[in-house]
Amino acid sequence: MSAKSFALLLETAFAPEQPNVFPTSAIAVYQKLEQAFKASRQQQGRVTDELHFSFEMVRLGVAIAFVKVLVRLADNENTHEVLQLLQQAVKAKSVKEIDKTIQPKVALFDNLYHEIFVNEQREEILALFEGTLDAGSKEELDELMLEGLALLQEIDFNATSDEDDDEPLDEDFIKSIQ
């Protein structure tokens, strides 16, 4: 995975608007992670605060990309709140600050599951988002980015929710719940 793929994931998720997720470019954020990994290897695999923080910033960027796609596919308040929370966390200067930002509002992530399982693409994006939260290595994040980029090429962001439904509702079922 390259810094360019990370930037492309964010650009595709936010298109046509500019991502503006980080104070610097997404490429610079990813390159900082690569530099921290290189420095860690030179120090015989010693994990530094810089490596941990750089990893968390890339992970936040990937998570933001997937949540932005969810916002575009299922424009609802819950998803917007999660996106805003993640964007606040990106402003942190340390891992502790990231945790301090997210932990009090971690229940917002549960709200992503409401009204998301309407179509297969939303489910796939949510699964990639979950994978991002669980990722513990640069390689896992890289794989999630590649899967996300492939999926984003298939999504029709101009389709309406009605067009996304897999099958029509059963009229007898609708009558039975009225």
φ, ψ dihedrals at 156, nearest 5°: -100, 100
Domain count, the chain: 1
Structure confidence at residue 157 (pLDDT): 81
In order of 34, 49, 85, 97, 168, the CA distances from 127 in angstroms are 26, 28, 19, 26, 25
φ, ψ dihedrals at 109, nearest 5°: -65, -35
User: pLDDT under 50 in the chain at which residues?
Assistant: 161-169, 173-174, 178
Structure confidence at residue 163 (pLDDT): 47
Helix (H) or strand (E) holding 51: helix 49-73
Which residue range(s) make up the domain with 57?
3-177
| Whole-angstrom distance, CA of residue 97 vs CA of residue 24 | 19
CB 40 within 8 A of CB 34: no
First to last CA, the chain: 52
The sign of the CA dihedral 30, 36, 39, 41 is negative
Structure confidence at residue 40 (pLDDT): 85
Structure confidence at residue 116 (pLDDT): 55
Q: At what angle do helices 49-73 and 120-134 cross, to 10 degrees?
A: 170
Structure confidence at residue 167 (pLDDT): 47
Structure confidence at residue 98 (pLDDT): 96
